[in-house]
Structure 1
Amino acid sequence: MRKILIITGNYGEGHKQAANALYKVIQLRQLNYEPIIIDFMEVTHPLLNPISHYIFINGIKMFPSIYGFFYRKTRAANSMSEILNKINNLGVSRLLKTIKEVEPSVIVSTFPLAAGAVSRLKEHGYIDVPTVTVITDHTYHSSWIHDNTDRYIISSEYVKEDLQSLGVPKEKIAVTGIPIRPEFCHNLSVDPLRTKHGINPSIPVVLIMGGGVGIIGDGSTTIRALENLPKKVQIIVVCGYNDKLKKQLSRELSNSKHEVILLGHVDYIHELMAISDMLITKPGGLTTSEAVASELPMLLFKPLPGQEQDNAKLLTDLGVAFQAKNTKEMIEVLSFSLFTPEILNKMRGNAKKIHRKWAAFEALDVIDEVQNATSSHGTPMEMNS
């Protein structure tokens, strides 16, 4: 049985979600593939990973402008991005060891640092395996783009134009959409789901998500601001792994005028999106792709400098989302849109025109094509630690 090695990372929930989506569709299609998922940072920097992950997540929350500065400075390949690439070379020997053990017939990267490391291994002749990179945002950045990548799987024609402007040959680019879980492929019957989740069909539903660690604004302040809405709504808050936020909201919203449902990490987001009227979220590539597939209007809250701002601009330009820079703007947008069916219906219609529900299946077709184009690959060489 052929093996697909999927290399992802936990620096953003979307990288893992894309990897898991591919894993699921490989199993559903019952092809002669064994999918194997590994975490790039856990493999290459097992001791450093917990610390660097903590610094990354909290650094973005506390110093978003610094993150944005480095993102912009390294958007195109330059001396600064090259320095970061060299730093990333540390620990690559561990990745090579893993590749030798797995012996994959194709390598798929859903994490930019992994894409770069695999490309460098190919460049120096340590591996000769076809490689595919899945870009998990609605934009581009030099960290994703490497000479020895055989195919790029991307979200839209807009990103394709950007990659071609950077010199990526069009035959290396496949527009499939960002891979999302197969649960989003089919239209769901809403009424039974409303009953299942205790939803009143006559009151608007606001779904709030902030990523796997629940970082949307400063959490409780953002959500408590919804008390300023002129009418009662139903609020579903997915706190992810942020148990502290969930407990805090449970205390602070106990007397809310709204109906509030607080959840932790769940695996039925597709059901929650199906019964909601508006999603308030950070503009990550995966969550927004799932929302578009669900034809769910979005309010993108406080996009971070960098890929989130790029994602937000595209989605608002396409008419499937609003954007709010602060809680005041959030309440203003919700007050005029949430209670106006014509606005929501128009946004749903826009989403229906552009969604790619079957993106994960199309991406798998591309991966299979790349693998089949290379009938054999070389044996990985040894590498000095």
Structure 2
Amino acid sequence: MRALILSVSAGGGHIHASLALKNYILKFEPNSDIEILDTIKYINPFLNTLLIGGYLKTIKITPSLFGKLYKSTEKDDGITSVTNKLNEIMSYKLLPTIQEYKPDIIICTHPFPTEMVSILKQENKFDIPMICILTDYAPHNSWIHPNVDSYVVSNSDMKEEMVLRGVNRESIFDFGIPVSSEFFKKYDKNEVLSEIGLNPDKKTILIMGGSLGIGKIASVYSQISKLTLDIQIIVIAGNNKKLYTELMNLKQNSNVPTSILGFTENVNKYMQCSDLLLTKPGGLTITEAFISNVPLALFSPIPGQEKKNEEFLLKHNLAITLGDGTDCKNIIENLILSPSKLQDMKNKSKKFSKPSSCRDIFNLINNLIRKREIAVMKDEKE
């Protein structure tokens, strides 16, 4: 199999989902050639810095502005037209790579390359099957384009919403978001918590804000650290060095045993050993929490996609909300003192987890490739 996976490194979720799928394919078809392209960076590094750097600054400094942009791009207005034109220009830059690589399948884990490939297929530049994997828990029009052979979504609600937006039901599969195989490994709780100086017998709360370490993490920790319950805390600051320093200072006055971590590749271990996860509702983080079977409390959702993710989780009683995280001490205390509530959330999250996501997508890929091969053979005979 030759597969070209097109993604964009806005946050970490899109690329991580791509890597999870690539590694799964190589495990079962080790002779496959799987290429992941950070698409905008590959086409134009300067433009990538401008677009992705601007996106990251916006969600950190003025998230409400990002929310307005998110809403505006749901409509066919001026901003959408500019985005469409930009993707059209970039699609022609991407074409030579696709022609040279000659993939059997193209997989997109971000809206931008999805539109680029759609444009090229519309203009009959090639007829390679394309799968679009949506990496959140609610759809957005930026993902939906002509000439997408199959959409993979995280839940059945999305399937219904996309049908209402004009997508053929038969092309939508609620297989879930691919996650790293590391999340399926079982770790010894005693060993993991002892390694970071914590007690395996205490209830453990994990606080994180993705690889960027954004959101009201310090505020949330400051409040939880004043609880008098018999608990302990892990806080992951990600790549946010300023946050790490702030957390280390707050730790000195904490009533609760705490381990402060910077960027780590072991999120899977800490999720698995925690009784409650406090986090922003990023699509991949939610999926990893489901697989790890850890209850969720949500704070600081980015207006737009993360807010939609939060709405989905609250609708199905899969999480509680802490709002912006500035007043959450009592909410968390009440939840910790309600083991039945925590257990109910764990039970529900297990039902919504999709542990066979990579396998199902892998089978879908092979089906699309075979379907195209049959069509090509038929055309040659005629």
TM-score bracket relative to the smaller structure: over 0.9
Cα deviations across residues 266-299 of structure 1 (Å, max 9, x unaligned)? 2222211111011111101110011011111111
- Distance across 2 between alignment mates of 1:131 and 1:3: 13
- Distance across 1 between alignment mates of 2:97 and 2:208: 35
Structure 1 gap ranges (5+)? 379-385
SS across alignment from 2:120: helix
Paired position in structure 2 for 1:51: 50
The percentage of aligned residue pairs carrying the same residue is: 31
1:86-165 maps to which residues of 2 (within 5 A)? 86-165=85-164
Identify which of structures 1 and 2 has the higher relative contact order when contacts are C-alpha pairs closer than 8 Å and 6+ apart: 1
SS across alignment from 1:326: coil
Structure 2 gap ranges (5+)? 377-382
The CA deviation at 1:115 is 0.5
Give, as a single letter, the amino acid of the residue that structure 2 aligns with 1:222: V
The CA deviation at 1:79 is 5.7
Q: 1:352 to 1:189 in 2, by over 3 A?
A: farther
Give, as a single letter, the amino acid of the residue that structure 2 aligns with 1:240: G
SS across alignment from 1:122: helix
Q: Of residues 356, 366, 369 in structure 2, which corresponds to 1:368? A: 366
Q: 1:253 to 1:194 in 2, by over 3 A?
A: closer
Give, as a single letter, the amino acid of the residue that structure 2 aligns with 1:374: R
TM-score by length of 1: 0.91
Give, as a single letter, the amino acid of the residue that structure 2 aligns with 1:110: T
Paired position in structure 2 for 1:279: 277
The CA deviation at 1:14 is 0.9
Cα deviations across residues 30-67 of structure 1 (Å, max 9, x unaligned)? 25522111101111221121233222111122222221
The CA deviation at 1:333 is 1.7
Give, as a single letter, the amino acid of the residue that structure 1 aligns with 2:336: L
Q: 1:31 to 1:377 in 2, by over 3 A?
A: farther
Q: 1:82 to 1:73 in 2, by over 3 A?
A: same
- Distance across 2 between alignment mates of 1:77 and 1:295: 39
Paired position in structure 2 for 1:383: none
SS across alignment from 2:328: helix
The CA deviation at 1:155 is 0.5
The CA deviation at 1:216 is 1.9
How many residues align? The count is 376
SS across alignment from 1:208: strand
SS across alignment from 1:90: helix
Q: Is the 8 A contact 1:135 1:178 kept in 2?
A: yes
Q: Is the 8 A contact 2:276 2:297 kept in 1?
A: yes
TM-score by length of 2: 0.92
Instruction: Give the RMSD, CA atoms, in angstroms.
Output: 2.1
Deviation larger for 208-217 or 105-114: 208-217
Paired position in structure 1 for 2:70: 71
Q: Of residues 332, 335, 358 in structure 2, which corresponds to 1:334? A: 332
Give, as a single letter, the amino acid of the residue that structure 1 aligns with 2:341: I
The CA deviation at 1:189 is 4.6
- Distance across 1 between alignment mates of 2:220 and 2:47: 33
Give, as a single letter, the amino acid of the residue that structure 2 aligns with 1:145: I
> Quick check: 1:230 aligned with 2:228?
yes
Give, as a single letter, the amino acid of the residue that structure 2 aligns with 1:169: N
> Quick check: 1:26 aligned with 2:4?
no
Paired position in structure 2 for 1:179: 178
Paired position in structure 2 for 1:313: 311
Q: 1:346 to 1:339 in 2, by over 3 A?
A: same
Give, as a single letter, the amino acid of the residue that structure 1 aligns with 2:167: V
The CA deviation at 1:5 is 0.6
Q: Is the 8 A contact 1:154 1:160 kept in 2?
A: yes
Give, as a single letter, the amino acid of the residue that structure 1 aligns with 2:36: I
Q: 1:363 to 1:330 in 2, by over 3 A?
A: farther
